[in-house]
Structure 1
Amino acid sequence: MKYWTIPVALFATAAAANENIPDQYPQSLLYSAPVEFVPGVFSAIGATAPSTYDNAGHNNNLSFVITGEGVVVVNGGGSYGLAAALHDEIRARTDEPVVLVIDENGQGHAMLGNSYWAEQGVKIIAHSDAAHEFEQTGHRQLESAQRNLQDRAEGTFVQGPTETFDDEYIVDLGDYRIEARYLGPAHSPGDVVVWLPNQELVISGDMAFHERMLPIFEHTYTADWLDTWDNEFEALNATYVIPGHGHPTNMEQVRRYTKGYLEYLRGKIGEHLDNGGDLAEAYYVDQSPYAHLDTFEELAKRNAGRVYEQMEFE
């Protein structure tokens, strides 16, 4: 088993990773500069807040691996400009070309930056369900980005992946085996994780959260997410986790704030249903143990309502 010292800077600034800080890297469209987490693996940590003009839509993590035989990028980014800004940071660290982009899901902040990478001739891969989701919603997501980001969305167009997969997509480059894996239903259609077995590190995408409250969408089935977590995600036995949002961490933290939160909320809604409670009251079940998480105010009530609607028919 390999162990590396995690840079203190990653955690020294963790308290500053909150939704009230609009931008931590003013000289770039990126919200923060990429940091090397373990040797060769970098991540530019996005804002733990909704997409805004100030954070340029960089509200998720944009990661890359310098393999010695080319760079693999995880997440296309939320706009043409964000992808270009990430590429500038990559070029500042290596002469190796970007050879592959992996989109972690079909959301705009994962795929809208494909518009830049496609122009560079880079192969872009995603799960087939994520590609379908983006095909159906990409123009709507682009319009939303243009409203929020204004001139910072300039050049962005709808570009899906150039190749899709259903179960896994594996590449071996240098000392890195990079496995894009679909583990099962989770946060959104076609969610994938990127597993680096030699580094015992998973770039989890939206499978795992810890610094901000996870959102539950209309198509997020929480019982399925928990099944995927228990049966597949835990089985990776990862030592290190770069989540979809928030600083790199470990399994204990993401377990507490993803699996733990889902189980807690389902338990509260289950009690509410057993007591004959209705949807209007469900929005106000107690979620105070998670009130310190970013985006709590935006998401807690909505999450409760959606879990009620699911569990009502389970």
Structure 2
Amino acid sequence: MRFLALPAALLLATPLFASEDIADQYPQSLLYSKPVEVIPHVFTAIGATAPPTYDNAGHNNNLSFIITGDGVIVVNSGASYLLARALHDEIKIQTDQPVKLVINENGQGHAMLGNNYWIEQGVPVLAHADAATEFADSAGQSLTALKSYARENATGTEPMGPTDTFTDPRDITMGDFRVEILHLGPAHSPGDTQVWLPDQGLMIAGDIAFHERMPPIFEGTCTLCWIETWEGPLTDLSPTYIIPGHGHPTNFAQVTRYTRDYLVHLRGEIAKHLDVGGDLAGAYYVDQSAYTLLDTFEELATKNAGVVFTEMEFE
């Protein structure tokens, strides 16, 4: 049975609700914001859409949890030991059910650096094998960055990879929920993971989906593959509700507009630039004006254009 009542402010969230300029929405906790219940028994603590800072303690992605009736499933351990503990404190306010599983949405620090807190509690941590490999390669750099901006809030953080990995989809039934743990295909970063609740029509999508902040495109990201993943297996599922990697819960049309459509637009602009013999220096200035309202536009737009130029130059 699908739940049809999602608060309008969440379901219709647009860049107007983005929070890049708000230092902290929940001062009594290390979390940037208090967890909200998106549909019955599914919560998310919405992170800042700004880059990680001391004020937001690195909570600039969404930390979600599902209270299944027979235990809790957490999606993302957070950017530090203390953030993971702060999320656990909020879970304990909502339920006395134990956390039975943590899922990392990708191999970035803000998804995995809190793993050691959960492992210390005896909770298994699951990630895609490619995400685990990425974290193993970048954990030292991620920890150095955390210590630089978070200072004392990095205390206790020791990089630990997941205790278990997957490549094929995992299907879990826990309490009242069927949960499918998926890697739909290449997208934002290696091993991007989506947590799909088929009975509720809700996907905790991770960084395959953006709508309030500009999608970051990394060196090595295949934007054509990302579009193909979107137009294939993700569209086949067409979730009613989306909890994206960053920003407020919303609907599939909204994340399509600001993720898939943005990627198509940027690739189209770079293609036009290449057709007239344009070079990398000129690629930074292709037209992305339709997306200036997205948070992190200033930080990412020119970088994204350069990466896509390099990707498309020899396609």
TM range (shorter): over 0.9
Q: 1:192 matched to which residue of 2?
A: 193
Share of identical aligned residues, percent? 62
What is the SS of the residue equivalent to 2:199? helix
In the other structure, the counterpart of 1:28 is 29
The aligned residue for residue 4 of structure 2 is: 4
Q: What is aligned with 2:152?
A: 151
Which residues of 2 match residues 164-203 of structure 1 at below 5 A?
Answer: 164-203=165-204
- CA distance in 1 between partners of 2:210 and 2:180 (Å): 20
Aligned mates of 1:193, 1:76 — CA distance in 2 = 15
In 2, Cα distance between equivalents of 1:11 and 1:228: 23
Q: Does 1:268 align with 2:269?
A: yes
- What does 1:183-262 align with in structure 2 at a 5 Å threshold? 183-262=184-263
SS in 2 for 1:286: coil
Contact 2:3–2:39 (Cα < 8 Å) also in 1: no
Displacement of 1:21: 0.5
1:13 to partner: Cα distance: 8.5
Q: Return the alpha-carbon distance in structure 1 between the equivalents of residues 140 and 63 of structure 2.
A: 22
How many Å separate the matches in 2 of 1:123 and 1:206?
22
CA 1:11–1:301 in 2, change beyond 3 Å: closer, same or farther?
same
Higher relative contact order, chain-length normalized (CA < 8 Å, sep 6+): 2
Q: Is the 8 A contact 2:18 2:213 kept in 1?
A: no
* Structure 2 partner of 1:130: 131
CA deviation map 1:219-258 (0-9, x unaligned): 2110111111111111112100000000000000000000
CA distance in structure 1 between the aligned counterparts of 2:12 and 2:274, rounded to whole angstroms: 43
1:2 is displaced (CA, Å) by 2.1
Aligned amino acid, residue 220 of structure 1: T
> How far apart are the structure 2 equivalents of 1:84 and 1:9?
28
2:99 corresponds in structure 1 to: 98
Question: Per-residue deviation at 1:10?
Answer: 3.7
- Offset of residue 16 of structure 1: 4.5
TM-score (norm 2): 0.97
Structure 2: tracts of 5 or more residues without a match? none
Structure 1 residues 103-140: Cα deviation after superposition (integer angstroms, max 9, x where no partner): 00000000001011010000000000000000111111
Distance of 1:33 and 1:299 partners within structure 2:
27
- Tell me the number of residue pairs that the alignment of Structure 1 and Structure 2 aligns: 314
Stretches of 4+ aligned residues off by more than 4 angstroms: 11-14
Separation in structure 2 between the aligned mates of residue 60 and residue 154 of structure 1, nearest angstrom = 20
CA displacement at 1:182 relative to structure 2: 0.7
Q: Alpha-carbon deviation of 1:12?
A: 9.3
**Alpha carbons of 1:147 and 1:232: their partners in 2 closer, same or farther (altered >3 Å)?**
same
Aligned to 2:281: 280
CA RMSD in angstroms comes to 1.2
Tell me, in whole angstroms, the C-alpha distance in 2 between the residues paired with 1:230 and 1:26: 40
Secondary structure at 2:140 match in 1:
helix
How far apart in 2 are the matches of 1:237 and 1:308? 30
Change (3 A) 1:13 1:273: closer
User: Displacement of 1:259 after TM fit?
Assistant: 0.4
- 1:60 is aligned to 2:27: no
Q: Offset of 1:175 from its aligned partner?
A: 1.7
Q: Provide closer, same or farther for how the CA distance between residues 65 and 254 of structure 1 changes in structure 2, counting only shifts above 3 A.
A: same
Tell me, in whole angstroms, the C-alpha distance in 1 between the residues paired with 2:12 and 2:29. 22
CA distance in 1, matches of 2:209, 2:133: 22
**Does structure 1 retain, via aligned residues, the 8 Å contact 2:12–2:251?**
no
CA distance in 2, matches of 1:189, 1:206: 11
Cα distance in 2, alignment partners of residues 16 and 267 from structure 1: 28
Q: Distance between the aligned counterparts of 1:285 and 1:249, measured in 2? A: 29
Query: 2:83 touches 2:114 (CA, 8 Å); kept in 1?
Result: yes
